[in-house]
Structure 1
Amino acid sequence: MRLNKFISNNGSIARRTAEEYIRQGRVTINNMTVTDPAFNIIENKDKVRVDGELVKTSRKKVYIVLNKPRKVISGVSDDKHRTTVTDLIKSKEKIFPVGRLDYDTSGLILLTNDGEFANRLMHPRYKVEKTYRVKLSKPIEEKHKLLIQKGVRLGRKVTAPAYISFINPKDKRYINITIHEGMNRQVRKVFESFGYFVDKLERIKYGYLTLRGLASGQWRHLEPKEIQSLTKICKPEEK
């Protein structure tokens, strides 16, 4: 098995993060540093360590949805000792967040110890939709709404088309926006590029999943049918 896949499947990090750690020289195999993410290991024989900690084979796959409060870090640790999403969840297995929500953004975030599952959900190839509820500093103009729906240039990249709907047509500060990309602070940057400040941002939907029944800070395990639905979204096409 490839080294990066083994770590993401059994460690508390996603595959992309595992690749970064490997290239940074933070991973050893049988006490020897390896910097090639594609290096093949022999499971149950080779001893893989990340930052000196042994990566143990996970026995049980865990899939959790959390309603993340604001002022919580989307990670497993924080050098400033702030609360992280994993601090809010009681799990015997090591888990990590699928993607991230900004420190000041609340809402739906998935956590798992299944690296392959997480990697597919985050991969741009599968275009998994995420919907955010937004409160803007002022009502959005129709011309800006149309431009955002077509795609906006952010630096060297142009965002993919988005879908915007009004929560209350009488108050156009409140909108829902659906995207399938995951650029850093994308929603905030898109609106800021047209002179709007995002007063409040909450992710309310991820694929088929919603925050049904979850108050801020609450979490639950995904039901088998929910896992199947998410897996189906990002299932490779048969050739």
Structure 2
Amino acid sequence: MLIKIIKSIYNTLLFNFKAFPLKEAIKIPAICGSNVFFGRIERGKIWCDVGVHFNMISLGRTEGSFRAGRNQRTYIAIWGSKSMLKIKDILDIPCGSVLNVNECVEIGKGFMPNSCLLISCGERITFGDNCNIGWNVTIIDGDGHPLCNKDNPDRVINNSKPVVIGNGCWIAAHVTIMKGVQLADNTTIPYGSIITKSCKQPCVIYGGSPNVVLKENIVRQDFYKH
């Protein structure tokens, strides 16, 4: 236990003084768990709409449902000339997750991810307010490696495309959302879906192969019940 506390303190200080200017870093805006590992972290790449404040970011601390993320490594990288992580108020990146920000990730209020979330951004990924994310969800806006025609190797044919997830969306466990996907407000994505096409109709269950609207006029009870 003592070793974990020491590692957590070390990771917390390391991240804050790498990611924030000194006058912000001393506020300790991020608290890190003991099993967090960092890639390249560039200073001044995090923006919060309500200003930088203590404990506004939690990295690798929450274990998720059934404690599924317990003892899982969390990896954080925020780098590149255009990279920016924008949050409206607070952000939790649970245990076992990967957050790789090479350009712009925007996260709204009430963001509720489960363990082992993977977000990899090469251009732009945007979450609206009150999004629920199940465990082992992958959201990527690129293919990871550039492809080209063998007769024209200088021309990339699989550029990154922005991902936009609307307000009140519920993305169930083991879902993959691929580049270029846009989801309207209050879209529900079923367990295990691979989403490659956009859905502009709000309040639906959307999935299947190929992706289609499975049911209309559906919203999360916890979001709408008063």
Q: Does the TM-score normalized on the shorter chain lie above 0.5?
A: no
* TM-score band, normalised by shorter chain: under 0.3
- Whose radius of gyration is greater, 1 or 2? 1
Higher helix residue share? 1
For CA contacts below 8 A with separation 6 or more, give which structure has more relative contact order. 1
With structure 1 as the length reference, what TM-score do the two structures score? 0.24
Report the TM-score when normalising by structure 2: 0.25
